[in-house]
Structure 1
Amino acid sequence: MVSTMAINKDDSRSFLTEEHLLFKQSIREFLAKKAVPFYEQWEKEGGIPCSFWKKFGDNGFLCPWLDLEFGGIGADFGYSVVLAEELEMVGSALGGISIHSDVVAPYIASFGTIDQKQRYLPKFITGEMIFAFALTEPGMSSELADIQTTAIKKDGYYIVNGAKTFVTNGFKADFMIVACKTDFNAVPSQDGISLLLIDKDTPGFSRGRKLGKAGQGSDTADLFFDDALVPVGNLLGEEGKGLSYIMQKLQQERLMCAIRSLIAAKDMLHLTMNFIKGRKAFNKKISKFKNAQFTIAEILTDVHLGRTFVDGLIGKHMTGENIITEVSMAKYWITEMSKRISEKCMQLHDGYGYMGDDKVTRRHQDISLSTYFTGTDETVKILIAKNIGF
């Protein structure tokens, strides 16, 4: 369990107001009753039940940043940070809720037509529909323009063919935003990609099996399109501007990834601290060994450095600054840091960290996947290098 002292220190962060803290307390109390007691069972069953999404929405926790006309309260990004952190504290399998609320919904809010906004955004808030974003493809290179899924316009429809993989929320999604190539003459330096809104009941659409991976409670799937018929009215934004839209939203997506990864690392630290304080070796508490103390000091330093870095970026993002380069740095560094921390913590747990039923084992598994979210390290580093003129 995370110490009260650590939680109180977080509450003093500069961007958190009294309203944010009340929102945090409400989410924490809800999760303690409705998620924590069932989380282990959900992981064994391989997913978070749709009924939980609905309860979460009924309590007003989804998309609070949306305008009043769509059912939101017009809240700032600080609420999204609180939401992501509280979900991650329970476990990474709940991360799909944060992606639904703060990664997918912003695309429709920013680029959708009035009809699309009125039709879908209220359902983001209630949780009655689950949304996903399908970008990554099997064998896809680091170049986003290399998308192979195609959409050809004919007789009032886009005929979509291709496959997507590693789609968070993909197995349960009622609706998804799918990136497709629509301009086959566009060179890599151009765009030529469009975003389509595709319903789960679209003719020609199918899902593969839920992808087996560490953290089985996370909903991740392959999606397939075989002459899928998508009405032209389901185009999101303008045709051929999909990459531009993705780049506009990449800053928040990578920042959210860094935020969740940092919380996972912090949780791993406190799980380990609690373990070594209560366990003995050679008639001496493990926490009294110099090596254990050095390791904890190193991890704590990393976590504090990461927190300072991320909180600074949160503040800049809330004021609308363009910090995609810095956010990309945070994404790759913090996900790598969390993996490094996790390995050190597992060493301190000795064999007990690999027993399979303990939270520290699940946390270690979740952390091992974090570097692949929103682009591999190599992809992220390429963007950083390009942005500084290399």
Structure 2
Amino acid sequence: MDFSLTPEQQQIRDMVAEFVDEEVVPRAAEIDAADEFPWDLVEEMSDLGLMGMPFPEEYDGAGLDYHSYAIALEEISRGSGGLGTVVAAHTSLAGNMLNAYGDDDQKSAFLAPLNRGDDVGAFALSEAGAGSDVPAMQTTAEKDGDEYVVNGDKLWISNGSVADTVTLFAKTDPDAGHRGISSFVVRPEEDDGFYVEGTEDKLGDKGCPTAELRFDDMRIPESRILGEEGDGFTHALETLNGGRITIAARSIGLARAALEDSLQYAQDREQFDQPISEFQTIQHKLADMDTKIQSAKLLMHRAADKKIRGEDFIKDAAQAKLYASEISREVTNEGIQIHGGYGYTKDFDVERYYRDSKLNEIYEGTSEVLRNTIARRLLK
């Protein structure tokens, strides 16, 4: 596939890159150390229209195509992996759920504030016993008059402790397997019975809180259901398919950061009376790092192109996410190796890129699950 950016896409890339260089990169180490949600940066991104990039202007979105969104998320993640996850969970998951499956009233009430950045979104699917095995979820939503009563727990919820709007999955028919799962909109500040049990102390992805949520007889009006009862499993899978494109973007952003730092370091660091960039071993590492990044970009944009065209992009998104996530770990690892002992210290950013990159192989479809998905599409 031959892919070149349009003038508008170049403008988006340059604008976001400038913002990241000026505002995010200087703060990234602080965000990582403090592990606190960067409210001020989210507000600045809202002012730039970066919290509702791929959604219609009718609902206060920016109306960008999925290429532009992926490009912007790549740049944001280049500056901070945690901030990249904040935007991806907010947009690719919560926002995409509302945009795809909400009715006009739901979009006006819940999607528009997300797009403006007035609200932060989260996507509550995973549970302690239901990660890749979605139908194993235990959270239930029982109809009671014109309300649903929700009970259960969710785990690993990005933005979960700070979200104003949560798209929630629960079983409305516990005996129907995946056909009994439905999706809802939850408002933590409004809905009694919504509790944040705590947030995880993670290896990386700092600044994006990963929360455990509990629902104790939480009552929500029936107007909060997305689509019909039993649609939730399909909603989850289709949303995750689109989300995988942007996890590929996060992966590429982190890999690019490692390459850019390594290029600079290799030319500055001298050993045996010459820059280490003069050694063929280092040159080969840099060449392999860039080749992997460029290959991942093509896979990402191929998946985005098929999504935009309305074609089947499930395999393409799985391949983009699988490959980009794995080369992200490999490239950031090589970045540490090029930096030598310095790369293993917090004085240099490459150790943070490495920690942040590992998550890409786990969330929104583990590498093992994605290989299953790809194989099924090949054998179909």
With normalisation by structure 2, the TM-score equals: 0.92
Which sections of structure 1, spanning at least 5 residues, go unmatched?
1-12
Q: Which residue of 1 aligns with 2:109?
A: 119
1:162 paired residue among 152, 171, 174: 152
2:297 partner amino acid: R
Q: Contact 1:54–1:126 (CA<8 Å) still a contact in 2? A: no
From 169, 193, 196, the counterpart of 2:184 = 196
2:254 matched to 1:264?
A: yes
CA distance in 2, matches of 1:269, 1:51: 28
Query: SS of 2:162's equivalent?
Result: coil
Deviation at 1:382, TM superposition (A): 2.1
Distance 2:63 2:291 in 1: 36
| Conserved 8 A contact 1:182-1:192 | yes
Is 2:158 the counterpart of 1:150? no
The alignment's C-alpha RMSD in Å is: 2.0
Q: Are 1:383 and 2:379 matched, yes or no?
A: no
Alpha-carbon separation, structure 2, partners of 1:151 and 1:311:
38
Distance in 1, matches of 2:347 and 2:199, equals 21
After superposition, the C-alpha distances for 1:152-177 in whole angstroms (9 at most, x for unaligned) are 11233222222111111112111101
Measure how far apart 1:141 and its partner are: 5.0
Q: 1:231 aligns with which of 221, 226, 234?
A: 221
AA matched with 2:265: F
Percent identity over the alignment?
A: 29
For 2:359, the aligned partner's letter is L
- How far apart are 1:43 and its partner, in Å? 2.6
Q: How far, CA to CA, are the matches of 1:199 and 1:101 in structure 2?
A: 17
Kindly indicate whether the alpha-carbon contact (under 8 Å) linking 1:194 and 1:241 is maintained by their aligned counterparts in 2.
yes
Change (3 A) 1:47 1:349: same
Residues 1:67 and 2:56 are matched in the alignment: yes
Residue type matched to 2:79 in 1?
Answer: V
Alignment partner, residue 25 of structure 1: 14
Q: How much has 1:146 moved relative to structure 2?
A: 1.7
Q: How does 1:194-343 map to 2 (within 5 A)?
A: 194-201=182-189, 202-213=191-202, 214-343=204-333
The normalised TM-score by structure 1 is 0.90
Residue 48 in structure 1 maps to residue 37 in structure 2: yes
Which residue in the other structure is 1:171 paired with? 161
- State whether residues 80 and 102 of structure 1, in contact with CA within 8 Å, keep that contact through their aligned partners in structure 2: no
Decide whether aligned partners of structure 1 residues 229 and 119 sit closer, same or farther in structure 2, where only a CA change above 3 A counts.
Answer: same
| Alignment equivalent of 1:81, drawn from 64, 70, 82 | 70
- CA drift of 1:75 comes to 2.9
1:75 maps to amino acid = L
**Any unmatched runs of 5+ in structure 2?**
none
Kindly provide the CA deviation profile for residues 227-263 of structure 1, in whole angstroms up to 9, marking residues without a partner as x.
2222222111111111111222232111111122122
Shift of 1:316: 2.2
Query: Which residue of the other structure, out of 101, 126, 130, is the alignment partner of 1:136?
Result: 126
Q: Hey, which bits of structure 1, 4+ residues long, moved more than 4 A?
A: none
* Separation (CA, whole Å) in 2 of partners of 1:23 and 1:333: 25
- 8 Å CA contact 2:199, 2:211 repeated in 1: yes
Aligned length: 376
Kept after mapping to 1: 8 A contact 2:302/2:316: no
Identify if the C-alpha distance between structure 1 residues 336 and 151 changes in structure 2 by more than 3 Å, giving closer, same or farther: same
